């Protein structure tokens, strides 16, 4: 895992410099040898949301960038530099942002998008200037972003929670009643490869994605939030016959390689954002794992 760097372009006046951490991919055989500290170091993303900062993690797994942006008194802007090798951040990338904080605003090449809590924004490849700000510095927006390589420019667009194709799943007896909101999904708008959505568990429901699955054709990142300080989620990962767990706290994210299951159970209800990057965007294209095969 590389060291964080602040040498990421020259920021305009009044913009904060942001942090980008570089992580290498981990082979499934290597993952079997890791202890708790090793698993957390490679797959858990902590410290995403710090007021007045933009914190990014660049994973070599499908080259996804995961980040938290919390503008307060000053706007925060995406900047390019040596870490991406391009003239501007989205020269060859697309980006999805979901606001889990207070009201905010994103300006994309002069076009203003007002982003309320639980609303999303898709920004297409080629956008040169992208700036994030909060309506109230005392209750700032908290933009969670996923960013992926792209090959085509699609229009930038705001997506409200009512437009996000809600789908209710699960059963009370299985403790997994939940509603899935598909913000960035082919049924909502076109993207090159990035998909993002939010899953809200009902009170008394603790499980997500169980029975579990893998999908060799894409990786995934989970952000867990809406959790009290004394609650945790046990995120299960690994190959179906070599499962491990990572204890995740509020506003922390987990990188899930294509060879890994990605399932969690909490000590209370929670909300999570899933982001997927890979070969296809077929939502139900997954390799189901029988409960009898889990080990």
What is the rounded CA–CA span in Å between residue 260 and residue 27?
A: 10
Q: Measured in Å, how far apart are the chain's first and last C-alpha atoms? A: 28
Q: Which two tokens stand for residue 111?
A: 């076009």
185 is in an annotated binding site: no
139 is in an annotated binding site: no
What is the rounded CA–CA span in Å between residue 6 and residue 97?
A: 22
Phi, psi of 219 (to 5 degrees): -100, 175
The CA-CA-CA angle for residues 200, 205, 211, to 5°, reads 90
213 is in an annotated binding site: yes
Query: Among 135, 134, 187, which residue's Cα sits nearest to residue 159?
Result: 187
152 is in an annotated binding site: no
The answer to whether the CB of 164 falls within 8 A of the CB of 197 is yes
Annotated binding site: 213, 215, 220, 262
Annotated binding site for Zn(2+): 213, 215, 220, 262
């Amino acid at each position: 895992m590389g060291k964080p760097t602040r040498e990421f372009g020259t920021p305009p006046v009044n913009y904060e410099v942001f942090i980008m951490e570089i992580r290498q991919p981990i082979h499934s055989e290597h993952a079997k040898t890791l202890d708790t500290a090793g698993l957390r170091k490679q797959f858990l993303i902590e410290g995403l949301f710090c007021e007045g900062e933009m914190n990014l993690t660049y994973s070599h797994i499908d080259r996804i960038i995961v980040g938290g942006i919390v503008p307060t008194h000053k706007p925060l802007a995406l900047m390019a530099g040596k870490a991406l090798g391009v003239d501007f951040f989205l020269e060859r990338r697309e980006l999805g942002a979901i606001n889990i904080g207070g009201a905010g605003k994103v300006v994309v090449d002069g076009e203003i998008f007002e982003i309320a809590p639980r609303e999303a924004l898709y920004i297409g490849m080629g956008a040169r200037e992208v700036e994030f700000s909060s309506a109230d510095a005392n209750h700032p927006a908290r933009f969670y972003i996923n960013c992926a390589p792209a090959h085509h420019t699609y229009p930038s667009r705001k997506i409200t929670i009512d437009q996000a194709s809600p789908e209710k799943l699960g059963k009370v007896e299985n403790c997994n009643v939940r509603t899935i909101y598909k913000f960035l999904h082919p049924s909502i708008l076109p993207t090159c490869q990035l998909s993002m959505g939010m899953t809200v568990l009902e009170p008394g429901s603790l499980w997500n994605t169980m029975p579990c699955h893998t999908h060799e054709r894409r990786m995934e990142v989970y952000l867990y939030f809406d959790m009290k300080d004394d609650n945790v989620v046990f995120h299960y990962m690994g190959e179906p016959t070599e499962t491990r767990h990572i204890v995740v706290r509020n506003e922390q994210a987990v990188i899930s390689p294509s060879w890994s299951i990605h399932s969690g159970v909490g000590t209370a209800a929670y909300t999570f954002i899933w982001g997927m990057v890979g070969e296809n965007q077929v939502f139900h294209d997954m390799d189901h794992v029988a409960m009898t095969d889990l080990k």
